[in-house]
Structure formats: structure tokens, C-alpha cells
Amino acid sequence: MVSEVTLPLDQPTLHEAAKRVASIEVARLVDATAKTHGLQRLEDGFESRALGVREDALRMGPFDAQIAEALPILKAGTDALDRFFQEWDVLLTPVVRTAVYKIGMRDQTRFAYPELENILRDYVAYTALHNICGTPAASVPLHWDSNGLPMGSQFSTRIGGEATLLSLAYELEEARPWAGRKPPVFAD
């Protein structure tokens, strides 16, 4: 049975908790790398996005308090998704919001950090959930756009359900082979 469903979890809150933890790790990595390499100015060794993420983490307060606040939210989200997968075998979503990641979309000289962060978060809106909750997901190229570029369909399942995804991907590839499909411009 295939049905349209709404996931039973607060994704914005879950994403914000995951962002906080990730930002702390970026901040720690930037600071440790700067110390190791004796950088006097962080701008001399890091891209604006890394520095923006670091600043976000510092602005939000003590790292241990942020992590303590985020962990219960992350656990609740993972638990909610686990309950969802007790009722449903597989969740189907797009992989990304648009077919092609436009050249320049990540250009840190064109976009201020907050704008770039919003562009990237929106673009990969469907994949983050599974990175946060640890649920396996697979991208399968079941459709091609008008330029001959693959468009991924994302299938995900419960933690430990990799065999389900691999079996499904195998069946889909058998029914609609994609291994030999290449866009009009292709480099071997």
C-alpha cells in the first residue's frame, strides 16, 4: 500500500537541535585547527561558512548547556521516526528540491553566510532527517530531467533496515535500469 503521510515529529525543532550540535563541532574544529596551525586571524584559514557556523555556536551560549538541551530533542525525534517505521516499511521523498545544483549556488563570495545557509538547508531539506536520526536512506535515479540529468528518489527505512532498502533498489533497478544512462555531456 502506498499512502501520503505526514511524519509525526517536529522537524524544524529537530533540525535546529541538530544544527546546534553540528555548529559546536565546527566551532571546536575551527579553534583546534587554528591553534594547531598558529593562525592569528581565522579569516586566513577558513571559508566564511565555517566562520559563520562557529559564530552561531558561540552566540548561543556555553557548549555543554547547548548539547544538554539538544540531546533530548534529538532522541525524541529518533524515537518518533522509529515509531513511524513500525507502521510503514519505507518512506519515499525527493532527494533534493531541484533537479540540478546550480553552479555558483555555494559561492561564498556571492552570498552572506545566513543566506547561503538557508539556500543549502532548503536544497537538502529531505536528506537531513536521516542524517540526524541515523535511519538508512538510498537515492535511486528513477527519473531524468529535460537535460538528461538524473533526479533522485530517496527511500528510507528504520534503523537496521538496510536490507530492505538494498532489496528495493535492486528491484527498481531491474524494473527501470539506470546504470547505462549518462547525461549528454559526460566525462569518463
**What is the percentage of the chain residues whose pLDDT exceeds 70?**
98
Q: Is residue 18 predicted with pLDDT exceeding 70?
A: yes
Tell me what pLDDT residue 186 has: 63
Write the CA distances from 57 to 73, 111, 133, 138, integer angstroms: 17, 20, 21, 31
CB 150 within 8 A of CB 178: yes
Length of the chain: 188
| Domain spans in the chain, listed from the N-terminal domain onward | 10-86, 88-179
Average pLDDT over residues 163-173: 96
Bridge partners (DSSP) listed for residue 143: 151
Say whether pTM exceeds 0.85. Answer: no
